[in-house]
Amino acid sequence: MYKKLITDAVKEAVESLGFDAADINLDKPVVEAHGDYSTNVALKLFKTSGLPSSKSLEAPIDIGAARISAVVKPENIGYVQSPKELAEIICQTIKKSEKLQNIVSEIAVADPGFINFTLSAEALLETIRQILDQKEDFGKSKLGLGKTMVIDYSAPNIAKRFSVGHLRSTIIGQALYNLYVFLGYNAVGDNHLGDWGTQFGMILAAVEKNNLDINNLTVDDLEKLYVDYTAAAKGDPSLRDKAKVWFKKLEDGDEVARKMWQSAVNISMAEFNRIYEILDIRIDQTFGESFYEDKMDSVIKEAKEKGLSRESEGAQVMDLGENMPPGMLLKSDGTTTYFIRDLATIKYRLETWGPSLIIYEVGAEQTLHFKQVFAAAERFGWTEGLDLVHVAHGLFLFEGKKMSTRGGTTVKLEELLQKACQKARSVMDEAQIAKEIDNDEKESISSQVGIGAIKYFDLKHAPTSNINFVWDQALSMDGNSGPYLQYTYARTQSVLSKSEKSPATNYQLHTTTAEEASLLRSLVHFPDVVENAALTFSPNLLANYLYALAQDFNAFYAACRIADDETRLSLTDATGQVLKNGLHILGIKTPQKM
Ligand code: ARG
C-alpha cells in the first residue's frame, strides 16, 4: 500500500522535471540499512536520456540537449554529470512536495544513483493496525477487479495413475489460483482431465483382447493394460489398427464403447477424488477433454473459413509459421487430436467467461504443444486482450531419482502422502512439541503438517525448476519448510493465548529493538509480495517471503519479552495473521497448536 504512494510521488517528481515516467520500479533493498523501498529511476533516466557515462564526460552536458526537447524542461534540471546527481535532484523534488511527509522518515541517495526510502515509525505502526483490522483480507488488492482469469491445472489422465507431475500441477496451480483471487480477479479453476483421445482406443482394445470386465479393474490395472498393449502394438501393427477402430467407435458414439469409457472415467475419478481429498484441493470446474467432443467441428469450420487449415495426406493441419511444426487438427482417419481439443477449449472459455488471462500449469515437456496452441489461437484472432501463459513446471525427483509410474520401483502417490503424515507425526512426537495435545487432534495436526510439508517443498522452488524431494528437508523443523512455518504460526498463537494482556489497540512506540524493527518492516511488504508472486506466476516468492518473516519472528521471540507488552503482542498477532494469510494462499493449513 505504501508502495503505490511512493511510486506515485516518484512519478510525479520526475514528470515535473520534464521526464516521461512510464514505469517506475520500486523494490525492497537487499540491505536493511538502505531503507524499505528503493528506486533505480535516476539510473534508468540517465541511461535512456542518451548521456555518455559520467566517467567519459569532460564537460557538463545539458541533459535537455540529449533528450527530445518537447518533454524536457532544461531549466528544471540544469546540468547533471552522473545518475547520482540526477537522483539528488529527483530526491529534492520529492521532498519539496511534502506528499510523503507522514509515511517516509528519510529519503536518501545511494551509489551509484539509487533513491532509498525509509518508512516512518507511524507508517509502520499503521501497518499493524491494518493487518489486525483487515485480518484475512490483509494483502488483498483491487488490481484484478472486473477481470477474469482461467487457470488450467491438475488435469490427470483417466485410466492412468495420478503422477507426481500432476501433483506439481495441482499444488502450484492451486496456489496461483489463490493468488489471483487475492488480487481481486474473478478466477476460474478448470481441471482439464485427459479423458479423451486415441489412448482410450488402446485401453478398450486391450480390455477386449484380454476378455476382461472393465468394471472390475483398478486404475493400476488400466494403466498396465495400456502399457502392455502399446508395447505389443509396436511389434504388431494390427493391434494399433484395432485401437484406432475402438477410438473411432467411441467418437462415433458407439454404445458399448461409451459404456466402457464411462467405467474407466468413474474408476479413475474415484481415485483422483481421494487424492484431492487428502490434499484438500477443490477445483471449480472439471470439464475434461471429452466435454469438447461436440465443440471441435466449429473450430474446423472456423479454420476453413479463415483459410488457416489445409489437407496433408488425408489429415487436416494448420501451419503455424517457420519456427514450428504444423498443428494437427484431424488425423487422416478423421479422429480428433489433443491439439484441436485445446483450441476448442480456448474458444469455449472465451465465450463462457471472457478471460483476459489463461494460465496453463502443465509440465515443461508440453512446451512445444502450448507454443503451437498459442500460435494457432493468435492466427484465429482470439488473443486480442487475452494473455496465454504456460507455467511449465520442471521434474519432481524423489530423493534423487525419477519417480516413474512404470516399471517396478513405483512409489504410489497416495502412499507418499500417507507417509508424509506419518513422518510428520513422528517429527512432532520426537520434538515433543505436541505434548499436551490428545491423540485425535495429533492425528489431524500431523496430516496438516505432512501435507503442508509436501506442498511447501514444491512451492518454495520456482515452478520451472526441477525439484528433488528429500524427506529431511521437507520435514525440517528449523529450515525452510512447511512445518517450520506452521510451527512459527502456532508459536504466535501460543504466545497470545498464554499472555494475560491483550494486544494493544492503541499502539505505543517505545524503544524499539532491532529485532522488533526488522519484523515490523517485513510485515509491510506482504501485499507487494502477493502481487508480484501472482503477476510473475511465482508462488515461490511468497513462500520464501514467509520463511524470512518466520525467521524474523523467531529472532524477535528470542530477543524480546513479549507477554507483558501490549505493542509486542499486537506485533505477534499481526505476524500470525500474515503467516496465516500467506500459508492459506499456498494451500497450507495453520493449526493453532503444534
Ligand atoms: N492431461 C494432460 C496431461 O496429463 C494435461 C492437460 C493440460 N491442459 C491442457 N489444456 N492441455 O499431460
| Substitution candidate for ligand 1 out of 164, 168, 190, 192 with most atoms within 8 A of CB | 192
pLDDT of residue 415: 87
Looking at the predicted structure, is the pLDDT value of residue 377 above 90? yes
**Fold for domain 2-119?**
Gyrase A; domain 2 (3.30.1360)
CA nearest ligand 1 atom 1, residue: 194
- Whether domain 413-585 has CATH 3.60.20.10: the reply is no
Convert the pLDDT of each residue in 300-317 to its tens digit.
999 999 999 999 999 999
> Which one is predicted more confidently, 412 or 159?
159
pLDDT of residue 434: 62
Looking at the predicted structure, is the pLDDT value of residue 261 above 80? yes
> Which one is predicted more confidently, 50 or 471?
471
The whole-model pTM stands at 0.93
> Which one is predicted more confidently, 482 or 405?
482
User: Quick one: which H or E segment has residue 80?
Assistant: strand 79-80
Instruction: Work out the average pLDDT over 83-110.
Output: 91
Spacing, Cα 244 to ligand 1 middle (Å): 21
SS (HEC) of 411-471: CCHHHHHHHHHHHHHHHHHHHCCCCCCCHHHHHHHHHHHHHHHHHHHHHCCCCCCCEEECH
Q: Is 152 in the pocket of ligand 1 (CB under 6 A)?
A: yes
CA nearest ligand 1 atom 5, residue: 155
Instruction: Work out the average pLDDT over 280-285.
Output: 98
| 114-119, strands of its sheet edge to edge | 37-39, 114-119, 104-110
Convert the pLDDT of each residue in 110-161 to its tens digit.
999 999 999 998 899 999 999 999 999 999 999 999 999 999 999 999 999 9
Res. 207 pLDDT band, cuts 50 70 90: very high
pLDDT of residue 419: 93
pLDDT of residue 66: 38
Question: DSSP assignment, residue 129?
Answer: H
Convert the pLDDT of each residue in 45-88 to its tens digit.
887 764 444 433 344 444 443 333 223 334 455 567 788 988 99
Res. 432 pLDDT band, cuts 50 70 90: low
Instruction: Specify the residue for cell string 489429415.
Output: 315
Are residues 132 and 570 in contact, defined by beta-carbon separation less than 8 angstroms? yes
Q: Is 545 in the pocket of ligand 1 (CB under 6 A)?
A: no
| Substitution candidate for ligand 1 out of 219, 347, 366 with most atoms within 8 A of CB | 366
Looking at the predicted structure, is the pLDDT value of residue 541 above 90? yes
Spacing, Cα 339 to ligand 1 middle (Å): 10
Looking at the predicted structure, is the pLDDT value of residue 535 above 90? yes
Residue 491 burial (C-beta neighbours within 10 Å; 0-12, 13-18, 19+): buried
Q: Is 251 in the pocket of ligand 1 (CB under 6 A)?
A: no
Question: What value does the mean pLDDT of the chain take?
Answer: 91
Retrieve residue 306's grid coordinates: 479463415
Instruction: Work out the average pLDDT over 173-187.
Output: 98
3-class state of residue 189 by DSSP: strand
pLDDT of residue 58: 40
Separation of alpha carbons 441 and 453, rounded Å: 18
Instruction: Work out the average pLDDT over 356-363.
Output: 98
What angle (nearest 5°) sits at the alpha carbon of residue 142, between those of residues 139 and 146? 145
What angle (nearest 5°) sits at the alpha carbon of residue 212, between those of residues 208 and 213? 110
Instruction: Work out the average pLDDT over 272-294.
Output: 97
Retrieve residue 442's grid coordinates: 495429533
Convert the pLDDT of each residue in 25-50 to its tens digit.
999 998 888 999 999 999 988 877 64
Retrieve residue 400's grid coordinates: 534423487
Tell me the domain boundaries of the chain. Answer: 2-119, 148-398, 413-585
pLDDT of residue 193: 98
> Which one is predicted more confidently, 96 or 301?
301
Instruction: Work out the average pLDDT over 91-118.
Output: 93
Spacing, Cα 192 to ligand 1 middle (Å): 6
Which numeric CATH code is attached to 148-398?
3.40.50.620
Res. 509 pLDDT band, cuts 50 70 90: low
